[in-house]
Chains A and B, each alone.
Chain A
Amino acid sequence: MVTAHAHEPFTKKATNTKRGHMRSDDLSAPLDRLTRPLVREHGELRPATWDEALDRAAAGFRQGVERHGPNSFGMLSCARATNEMNFMAQKFARVVVGTNNVDSCNRTCHAPSVAGLAAAFGSGGGTSSYTEIEDTDLIIIWGGNPRFAHPIFFQHVLKGVHRGAKLFVVDPRRTSTAEWADRWLGLNVGTDIPLAHAVGREILHAGLANETFVERATTGLDEYRELVEPWTLAAAEAETGVPAEAIREMAHAYARAERAQLCWTLGITEHHNATDNVRALINLSLLTGHVGRHGAGLNPLRGQNNVQGGGDMGAIPDRLVGFQDILDPEVRAPFERLWGRPIQGTKGKTLTQMFESMESQELRTLYVIGENPVQSEPETHKTTGRLRSLDHLVVQDIFLTRTAELADVVLPASASWCESDGTFTNSERRVQLVRKALDPPEGARDDIEIMCELANRMGQEWERPSAEDIWNEVRSLSPMHRGMSYARLAELSGIQWPCYSEDELEPSYLHSRLWSEDPEERGEPAPFGIVGHSPPVDLLDEDFPFRLTTGRRLDDYNTGVQTSGFSSPLRRGELLDLSPEDAAKLGVKDGETVRVTSRRGSVLTPVSVTEAMRPGLVFMTFHFPDQVDTQMLTIDATDPIAGTAEYKAAAVRIERVEEEARVSAAAS
């Protein structure tokens, strides 16, 4: 996800190739910004002038396109950069190169949410706003720990809770979020669908379904009824581990609440059947009518400042800006007119597919802007090998990341959030202006400026546009952004999409149409998702008896690039969270180092004994890839619809490390 850990000077590259060893030092070493372009010569990166670097980068792309066609090119855009930058990145792919192969780390987290919501409602955003979380009666947080991972959102949750809203938390671990909850349901990893179906069945059997809404706004209830019928409370208890009474309690609380919010995070989406998980949760809102009203809705919690905006801007392989379907020629027409170039009427490759097609040599060149797939993708060594097999890799970043270390050309960029003007779109679909506060360090250049330079070297004539110019182009192409002029964004401190005209604001929640009495206005009904249970791919057995799940801690973020430069009193480095029962059984103490082995790899990590875990369940983060490379353990089984990997469920075994082994590990 994030750009990486670049405090190592590039000359030390060779020492960094060993994996899985311990490095307990410098967990918060300061990061050095890239200020000079680098090019690879005789296998090593060396400083170069901007002209040389840009020429080399453009030439590599041009050759790739000439020899292997536009679809041999891939673009990874940055979910932390502005909407304007993301729009230009997808435009670069579609206009300069002529491919739809553009995607971002969005893929590794919430693509299933977008896919699931779009399948039900036609568009892929969360349906409510922050203030509505404060104004609701019941909040269910399912597969998320926003207290740590979404602290801003959680402030709104807490306001709601302080106003009296009940909070249910569904999570295998009793997280910090769960400590705030009225009820915590500790399900088995990967049994979200059985739990959701049992809740749905209970609602139906108790006669608590919202008949008016189901009748007006949904299709497929009979099928759904049949689907969930086997999931009795007892059956669900057997599969999920959650007491039947607790399931019943949650079903009744959700159905009876006058307003309820259902929120989820990566515990739902980082599974091999993630889109199905999302559909199973959406079903509950359809059953109870908890969508399309003030205070009632569905909210996938996004993890990065602009992960919503990146998708909105069309930096995804199957949609043009404003979630417009790329397969529809009528949608493509205005783009082709404005850009003067036909757009392929087929979906491009997702991030996951791009990596797969590197192996088959289908994808030959890759332009990575502000992403660090080496450390954010599962199965690190596989990812590294694939990137090495490329003909041409250009990485544009603010730090020399692990991915940048593999590049042929490294372009030092500005930090979008403080060194450029533009807009971001947050989790509640609110587009907000971001203003340039600092000049980039001498030598680094703005992302958009770099793209223009490359475009011009590849046969286009791109003037460097201002951020507002780009935004006005977005508005001309995307109906749902049309009413958002910069002036209006400034005046209103941000506007939520959709915003079709400059004279009006839409309600703060989506899909109110579904409640309309007029079928015309109601439009396309929302279908129940008919999805079955599919347990995690990485099965537990005698050799791998522990279920490893992953997530974040409060004071670190993703692979640590943005956070490891800051010291924190809470940071203890990577840890394996372990229940007191398992710690006793294994004979390990808090802080002791153990070996964690999955079917794919093995790492050494200290343990943290905590009552938040139960026997058989262990937890790690991926914040400290240089200390412990958790992605060595995870599986790349991916969701067939959205392409997200199953980070949340690996099978591992845990062994005590003999004293000698520890010493030698430390020595190496």
Chain B
Amino acid sequence: MDLKFLDEAPTTAEREAVDSVLGPPESGWDGGTRQDTDLRYARGGHTARDQRDMLLPALHAVNDRVGWISRGALDHICRRLTVPPAEAYAVASFYAMFAMHERPRRVVHLCTDIACAAAGSSGLRDRMVERLGPPGSTEGGTTWHESPCLGMCERAPAALALQAGDPARYAVAAPAGPDDLDALAESASADGPVAPSEGNGHRPAVRTTYGADPLPGTAPEADAASAVPDAGSPDHVLLRRIGRVDPLSLDDYRAEGGYAALREALRLGPAGVLREVNDSGLVGRGGAAFPTGRKWSATAQQPDAPHYLVCNADESEPGTFKDRVLMEGDPFSLVEAMTIAGYAIGAQTGYLYIRGEYPRALRHLENALALARERDLLGTDIMGSGFSFDIEIRRGAGAYICGEETAIFGSIEGQRGEPRSKPPFPVEKGLFGKPTAVNNVETLVNVLPVLLMGGPAYAAVGTEKSTGPKLFCLSGGVRRPGLYEMPFGATLRDLVEAAGGMPEGRSIRAILLGGAAGTFVRGDELDIPLTFEGAREAGTSLGSGVVLVLDDTADLASTLVRVAAFFRDESCGQCVPCRVGTVRQEESLLRLRAGASPAQELPLLREVGQAMRDASICGLGQTAWNAVESAIDRLGLFSEDTHQTAAPGDRPATEEAR
């Protein structure tokens, strides 16, 4: 420790923001005013250090209130938590959404990732440069950045504006036209009086991080249900409530069958729940497809205590938006599912780690937790069963890597979100070094039908090895992009057809399956069955369920450069193969796009890619070469005969490499 605090004081607003998360300081030693009693006595030690996991929320509180984290604010946080400022700085600067230098209160995040780029985000970028100057410019009343995927691929191109204040506010433009974007790029508005969020008459409004009203002058965001083209379909299991319930109403949720699964779980007992989940054949939907029942049983059996549940809602895989739609449209189902999971694995605390770019999902979940607590569906003695469980929300701050199942622990614990070596596996030593089950949102929500239908009945849905329903995130060139639910077993063709196929005169150049970490397949491979085993046999993977269709107008070389830039940007830098490899990969792709000889570049790319795959600590580096490799081998990109010289309108390599 040896705390050497900075010599700067927080402003009143910064102090209030921090204290609103941590409570008032106890003494002069932890950031309060020095008093006579402080000269003789101090408390601290374990109690103080055990609050380290409040570092990220405290940083958020300041960033939300004033828009950036000053030295004075950082120092105050450090005093409150007994964290050395250098360490807190290392954590704060790890995240893209925190600024350590003064900037305007309003920040526009313009998505320039694969789906949005295919939908024309480059024109929007030019418009932003014209209005606000280059990205990061702090000249005007608003600043802006190019953003990795914002998870609104079904209505690309997308932009998100976040404005610090009391409360913080946000606005979304998607699909963003020039006028929508102009509205986001207005100067930060003055803090209005806090508008009471719309309750439904008989209950007080829940205090949420983001205010209910969007930024003045911006259009209200479309309902979550608009992301589900066939919302209301009787075939839906996971999406059945989307569009049918008010996502802010617990009563609505219960009227639609909510909390029946938890009651069933409490009747079965933890062992019974584990048996049903094991019988169901449910496997993880985050990408790794690990059997959920096995993970839960292994966690439940650990003698070390306490056990933790972590819900990984850090949905950041480019092209993925399923978890956002679930959380925005049916938040209580996730709360209920987490409660059941906590019950099964013997946890009393669950952490819901949600990505920072999802303000609406955050608001809906904050509301859902508050209401569930109010009705004793969270807290002590849930439903009179004697079981106690509660959920804490932790918000990410712009770091893809924190969706990695061990990096998420570091992020929650208030450390940098760096992946850990496995073993030990999370079920043994996870969050705070204790047995932990980490599950994706979609996986958890599947537990509700497992309990309602019974494990064996659930297992009858889908194929033998891929059971149950699955969500697919369709985006790109199809007629009706959006979130689709299908039982496992449908083919890629079924899915593309469900989405209305391709518009007149367009054909499929390539389909990216599984997101940036996934692989490309060709337009003539539509018979691939969308099951884990089917995808594997076809030499690809389902990943998180991304199906991103690129039509014949797509600039594939630029898409690959964007993928490579994404990994270079998101590599945590901890291990050399990934830190160096992602840079080399991007450089080589830039040279290829500019017309370099594939005969020279491809061997280098393959060697770098193989090194990353073999030697990286975590999945990020191990998969950073997947999409590029498949584009070369499967699509034949950069092969001598199809090799195209630089497409017109390409920006200079230096800009892209920034």
Q: Which residues of A contact B (CB under 8 A)?
A: 147, 161, 164, 166-167, 174, 176, 178-187, 241-243, 246, 579-580, 611, 614-615
Is B45 located at the chain interface by the 8 A CB criterion? yes
B45 touches A180 (CB 8 A): yes
Known contacts A176-B2, A179-B2, A611-B34; A166 and B45 CB within 8 A of each other: yes
What 1/0 mask marks residues of chain B from 1 to 42 whose CB sits below 8 Å from any chain A CB? 111000000000000000000000000110000100101111
Least CB separation from B39: chain A residue: A614
Most-contacted residue by chain A among B34, B39, B47, B82 (CB, 10 A): B39
Cβ-neighbour of B2 out of A147, A166, A185 (below 8 A): A147
Least CB separation from B48: chain A residue: A182
B40 touches A182 (CB 8 A): no
Set of chain B residues within 8 Å of A242, measured between Cβ atoms? 40-41
Q: List 29 A-B contacts (CB under 8 A).
A: A161-B46, A164-B46, A166-B45, A166-B46, A167-B45, A174-B29, A176-B1, A176-B2, A178-B42, A179-B2, A179-B3, A179-B82, A180-B44, A181-B42, A182-B43, A182-B47, A183-B42, A183-B45, A184-B42, A184-B44, A185-B40, A186-B39, A186-B42, A187-B40, A242-B40, A243-B37, A579-B39, A611-B28, A614-B40
A182 touches B45 (CB 8 A): yes
Known contacts A147-B2, A611-B28; A186 and B34 CB within 8 A of each other: no
Q: Give Cα A147–Cα B3 distance, bound, in whole angstroms.
A: 12
- Which 5 residue pairs are nearest across A and B when measured between Cβ atoms? A182-B45, A614-B39, A184-B42, A186-B40, A246-B41
Q: Give Cα A193–Cα B45 distance, bound, in whole angstroms.
A: 26
A183 touches B41 (CB 8 A): yes
Q: Give Cα A533–Cα B43 distance, bound, in whole angstroms.
A: 28
B45 touches A243 (CB 8 A): no
Cβ-neighbour of A174 out of B42, B45, B46 (below 8 A): B42
Most-contacted residue by chain B among A178, A184, A246 (CB, 10 A): A184
B39 touches A615 (CB 8 A): yes
Query: Known contacts A180-B1, A246-B40; can you find 8 more A-B pairs with CB under 8 A?
Result: A166-B45, A174-B29, A179-B3, A185-B40, A185-B41, A243-B37, A246-B41, A611-B34
What 1/0 mask marks residues of chain B from 31 to 71 whose CB sits below 8 Å from any chain A CB? 00010010111111111000000000000000000000000
Least CB separation from A247: chain B residue: B41
Q: Give Cα A164–Cα B433 distance, bound, in whole angstroms.
A: 14
Q: Give Cα A614–Cα B82 distance, bound, in whole angstroms.
A: 20
Set of chain A residues within 8 Å of B2, measured between Cβ atoms? 147, 176, 179
Q: Give Cα A253–Cα B45 distance, bound, in whole angstroms.
A: 15
Set of chain A residues within 8 Å of B1, measured between Cβ atoms? 176, 179-180
Set of chain A residues within 8 Å of B37, measured between Cβ atoms? 243
Set of chain B residues within 8 Å of A147, measured between Cβ atoms? 2
| A541 CB, min distance to chain B CBs, angstroms | 22
Set of chain B residues within 8 Å of A183, measured between Cβ atoms? 41-45
A243 touches B28 (CB 8 A): no
Set of chain B residues within 8 Å of A185, measured between Cβ atoms? 40-41
Category for how many chain B residues contact A: 10 to 19
| A251 CB, min distance to chain B CBs, angstroms | 15
Set of chain A residues within 8 Å of B41, measured between Cβ atoms? 183-186, 242-243, 246
Q: Give Cα A188–Cα B535 distance, bound, in whole angstroms.
A: 74
Least CB separation from B5: chain A residue: A611
Least CB separation from B47: chain A residue: A182
Set of chain A residues within 8 Å of B46, measured between Cβ atoms? 161, 164, 166, 182
Most-contacted residue by chain A among B43, B44, B45, B46 (CB, 10 A): B45
Q: Which residues of B contact A (CB under 8 A)?
A: 1-3, 28-29, 34, 37, 39-47, 82
Set of chain B residues within 8 Å of A166, measured between Cβ atoms? 45-46
Set of chain A residues within 8 Å of B28, measured between Cβ atoms? 611
Set of chain B residues within 8 Å of A182, measured between Cβ atoms? 43-47
Known contacts A147-B2, A611-B28, A611-B34; A181 and B44 CB within 8 A of each other: yes
Set of chain B residues within 8 Å of A164, measured between Cβ atoms? 46
Tally of A-B residue pairs with Cβ under 8 A?
Answer: 58
Q: Give Cα A615–Cα B2 distance, bound, in whole angstroms.
A: 22
Most-contacted residue by chain A among B2, B3, B28, B82 (CB, 10 A): B2
A161 touches B45 (CB 8 A): yes
Set of chain A residues within 8 Å of B39, measured between Cβ atoms? 186, 579, 614-615
Set of chain A residues within 8 Å of B3, measured between Cβ atoms? 179
Set of chain A residues within 8 Å of B29, measured between Cβ atoms? 174
A179 touches B44 (CB 8 A): yes
A241 touches B40 (CB 8 A): yes
Q: Give Cα A185–Cα B42 distance, bound, in whole angstroms.
A: 7
| B75 CB, min distance to chain A CBs, angstroms | 13
Set of chain A residues within 8 Å of B44, measured between Cβ atoms? 179-184
Set of chain A residues within 8 Å of B34, measured between Cβ atoms? 580, 611
Q: Give Cα A241–Cα B37 distance, bound, in whole angstroms.
A: 10
Set of chain A residues within 8 Å of B82, measured between Cβ atoms? 179
| A284 CB, min distance to chain B CBs, angstroms | 20
Q: Give Cα A310–Cα B2 distance, bound, in whole angstroms.
A: 33
| A447 CB, min distance to chain B CBs, angstroms | 37
Q: Give Cα A614–Cα B28 distance, bound, in whole angstroms.
A: 12
Least CB separation from A176: chain B residue: B2
Q: Give Cα A166–Cα B2 distance, bound, in whole angstroms.
A: 18
Q: Give Cα A187–Cα B40 distance, bound, in whole angstroms.
A: 7
Q: Give Cα A614–Cα B29 distance, bound, in whole angstroms.
A: 13
Q: Give Cα A243–Cα B42 distance, bound, in whole angstroms.
A: 11
Set of chain A residues within 8 Å of B42, measured between Cβ atoms? 174, 178, 181, 183-184, 186
Cβ-neighbour of B40 out of A179, A181, A243, A579 (below 8 A): A243
Q: Give Cα A294–Cα B46 distance, bound, in whole angstroms.
A: 24
Q: Give Cα A217–Cα B273 distance, bound, in whole angstroms.
A: 57
| A239 CB, min distance to chain B CBs, angstroms | 13
| B3 CB, min distance to chain A CBs, angstroms | 6
| A160 CB, min distance to chain B CBs, angstroms | 12
| B1 CB, min distance to chain A CBs, angstroms | 6
Q: Give Cα A184–Cα B48 distance, bound, in whole angstroms.
A: 13
Set of chain B residues within 8 Å of A246, measured between Cβ atoms? 40-41
Set of chain A residues within 8 Å of B43, measured between Cβ atoms? 182-183
| A47 CB, min distance to chain B CBs, angstroms | 46
Set of chain B residues within 8 Å of A611, measured between Cβ atoms? 28, 34
Set of chain B residues within 8 Å of A579, measured between Cβ atoms? 39
Q: Give Cα A242–Cα B41 distance, bound, in whole angstroms.
A: 7
| B339 CB, min distance to chain A CBs, angstroms | 30
Q: Give Cα A242–Cα B34 distance, bound, in whole angstroms.
A: 16
Most-contacted residue by chain A among B2, B34, B42, B82 (CB, 10 A): B42
Set of chain A residues within 8 Å of B45, measured between Cβ atoms? 161, 166-167, 180-183
Least CB separation from B3: chain A residue: A179
| B541 CB, min distance to chain A CBs, angstroms | 40
| A274 CB, min distance to chain B CBs, angstroms | 23
Most-contacted residue by chain B among A183, A243, A579, A615 (CB, 10 A): A183
Least CB separation from B43: chain A residue: A183
| A242 CB, min distance to chain B CBs, angstroms | 6
| A152 CB, min distance to chain B CBs, angstroms | 16
| B306 CB, min distance to chain A CBs, angstroms | 14
Q: Give Cα A243–Cα B27 distance, bound, in whole angstroms.
A: 15
Q: Give Cα A184–Cα B39 distance, bound, in whole angstroms.
A: 10
Most-contacted residue by chain B among A167, A243, A611, A615 (CB, 10 A): A611
Q: Give Cα A199–Cα B39 distance, bound, in whole angstroms.
A: 20
Most-contacted residue by chain A among B29, B34, B37, B41 (CB, 10 A): B41
Set of chain B residues within 8 Å of A179, measured between Cβ atoms? 1-3, 44, 82
Q: Give Cα A182–Cα B28 distance, bound, in whole angstroms.
A: 16
| A279 CB, min distance to chain B CBs, angstroms | 25
Set of chain B residues within 8 Å of A176, measured between Cβ atoms? 1-2
Q: Give Cα A187–Cα B45 distance, bound, in whole angstroms.
A: 19
| B262 CB, min distance to chain A CBs, angstroms | 34
Least CB separation from A245: chain B residue: B41
Q: Give Cα A387–Cα B40 distance, bound, in whole angstroms.
A: 43
| B464 CB, min distance to chain A CBs, angstroms | 48
Least CB separation from A164: chain B residue: B46
Q: Give Cα A549–Cα B593 distance, bound, in whole angstroms.
A: 71
| A261 CB, min distance to chain B CBs, angstroms | 15
Q: Give Cα A241–Cα B42 distance, bound, in whole angstroms.
A: 13
Q: Give Cα A588–Cα B177 distance, bound, in whole angstroms.
A: 62
